[in-house]
Amino acid sequence: MSRKFTSIETKHYEERSALFDALPRLNRRDFLKVSAAAMAAAAGSGVRFHPTSFQPVTVANAAGREPFTFAYISDSHLYRRDLNDRFVRSILRAVDDVNHLDPKPDFILYGGDLAQLGKKEELDLGAEILKNVQQPIRMMVGEHDWFLDMGARWRELFGKETYSFDHKGVHFVVLMSVNEKDFWTARKMTPEQRMGTVAGLDNGIQSRFEVGAEQREWLKTDLANVAADTPLIVFSHSPLYKYYKNWNFWTDDADEVQAILAKFAHVTVIHGHTHQMLTNRIGNIDFHGLLSTAWPWPYAPEGLPKLTVQMSRPDPFDPNDGCGDGNMEVNADGLVDKIYNLWNRNPIEVTSGYLASNGTKEKPAAPNMTSF
């Protein structure tokens, strides 16, 4: 049985692109008339997606440690439910996602900014929703959870903001990286004004994020007894490096923290706050950003790490585009492959091999619409 429809399809696409190639030669009026079809054709045929299936391949290449997976939800920015249902719906969707992962992840990381304005009812709503996560959950605090009551309600609900734990031979550290130097007392700000200032990403009144001397000392102590060949995974809300200062895509004492991590062979930092696909490698440290469930941030005008696999600019007509959740495959060597589950897009996997090869190997296939 010979069927030729595939070749006809190919031929048709060729003809259509030939027609659209000729578009620039059309006059303005003609161009307007066909422009809709032209754009549709370009979008339909130009974009190739990485054929990632549900279960990313796990490479069991080293002895001693068992590979495992953990998933994440981050940056949900909840208001009261009766004020804003949109962001509630989004975190529900993320919880539904991680509950349906197969195989089940060992635990779920919550990446910070559960609340939008740090209010009790916002944090309580988040806690209520996160109770439905079927796996154990590890909480991290973000600046939106913090600056109303300086962490009081968050601590009541979730415990300490700085802690460490071991899981299947990997040492995990959770930092509170969004401390800010006091900008509010001199201005006689109310707690609400302080929170409102920090909540504005482009608000220049606030200070820059920092881990701070006290926590850096804690970190040194915590790591003192961990062998240098133990894989280390650090969770911080802000990126533990300097990306773009104006938006606090930044940790002021990042260099000092990196120095503390320098003695370890395999370090991965997982951070929230930036609401975008973001990848970096500095020395021995791999950095991965998390997606937000609430809204995506644009890439900053400067400072974007060159290893970043950019997500295409989100479609404003799809309120979930550029948002999502994801999971991390911790390989037997303790290195992490990061999978971004962008809602309604194909998942994109950024492997440790890609980072280790400085972007020359295992380059992820990603959409290629650029940002402005």
Contact pick of 272, 296, 326, 334 for other proteins (by CB under 8 A): 296
Q: How far separated are the first and last CA of the chain, in Å rounded?
A: 50
Angle of the 120-130 helix axis to the 85-99 helix axis, nearest 10: 30
Contact 275, 291 (CB under 8 A): yes
Q: Which of 66-74, 175-183, 311-319, 352-360 is the region at the interface with other proteins (rule: CB under 8 A)? A: 311-319
Contact pick of 70, 154, 209, 247 for other proteins (by CB under 8 A): 247
Shortest distance in whole angstroms from residue 285 CB to other proteins = 26
Binding of other proteins by 273 (CB under 8 A): no
> How far is Cα 259 from Cα 276, in angstroms, rounded to an integer?
26
Shortest distance in whole angstroms from residue 66 CB to other proteins = 24
Nearer to other proteins by C-beta: 53 or 221?
A: 53
Nearer to other proteins by C-beta: 88 or 335?
A: 88
Neighbours of 132 (CB within 10 A): 10
Q: Which of 67-75, 136-144, 257-265, 298-306 is the region at the interface with other proteins (rule: CB under 8 A)? A: 298-306
Positive or negative torsion for Cα 262, 267, 270, 276: positive
Subset of residues 96 to 115 that bind other proteins, contact rule: CB under 8 A? 96-97, 99-100
Query: Which residues lie below 8 Å from residue 7, measured CB to CB, with a gap of 6+?
Result: none
Binding of other proteins by 185 (CB under 8 A): no
Binding of other proteins by 8 (CB under 8 A): yes
Q: Which residue in this structure is represented by tokens 């995974």?
A: 233
Rg (CA), the chain: 22
Subset of residues 15 to 54 that bind other proteins, contact rule: CB under 8 A? 15-16, 19, 26, 30, 32-37, 39-41, 44, 49, 51-54
Nearer to other proteins by C-beta: 182 or 214?
A: 182
Q: What is the DSSP string of 60-115?
A: --SSSS--EEEEEE----B--TTT-HHHHHHHHHHHHHHHT-SSPPSEEEE-S--B
Binding of other proteins by 255 (CB under 8 A): no
Contact pick of 65, 164, 216, 295 for other proteins (by CB under 8 A): 295
Nearer to other proteins by C-beta: 235 or 299?
A: 299
Nearer to other proteins by C-beta: 198 or 233?
A: 198
Shortest distance in whole angstroms from residue 21 CB to other proteins = 13
Q: Which of 193-201, 230-238, 251-259, 304-312 is the region at the interface with other proteins (rule: CB under 8 A)? A: 193-201
Subset of residues 196 to 215 that bind other proteins, contact rule: CB under 8 A? 197, 200-205
Q: Which of 95-103, 209-217, 257-265, 282-290 is the region at the interface with other proteins (rule: CB under 8 A)? A: 95-103
Contact 310, 299 (CB under 8 A): yes
Shortest distance in whole angstroms from residue 187 CB to other proteins = 9
Would you call 154 exposed, middle or buried from its count of C-beta atoms within 10 A (0-12, 13-18, 19+)?
A: buried
Nearer to other proteins by C-beta: 84 or 164?
A: 84
Say how many residues touch other proteins, by CB under 8 A: 80
> How far is Cα 118 from Cα 99, in angstroms, rounded to an integer?
26
Contact pick of 70, 74, 76, 88 for other proteins (by CB under 8 A): 88
> How far is Cα 234 from Cα 243, in angstroms, rounded to an integer?
18
103 preceded by cis ω (within 30°)?
yes
Q: Report how far Cα 189 is from the mean position of its chain's Cα atoms.
A: 31
Subset of residues 342 to 371 that bind other proteins, contact rule: CB under 8 A? 343-347, 371
Shortest distance in whole angstroms from residue 355 CB to other proteins = 24
Q: What is the DSSP string of 324-350?
A: EEEEEEE-TTS-EEEEEEETTS--EEE
Contact 305, 243 (CB under 8 A): yes
Subset of residues 136 to 165 that bind other proteins, contact rule: CB under 8 A? none
- 161: helix, strand or coil: coil
Contact pick of 1, 64, 224, 302 for other proteins (by CB under 8 A): 1
Binding of other proteins by 4 (CB under 8 A): yes
Nearer to other proteins by C-beta: 107 or 297?
A: 297
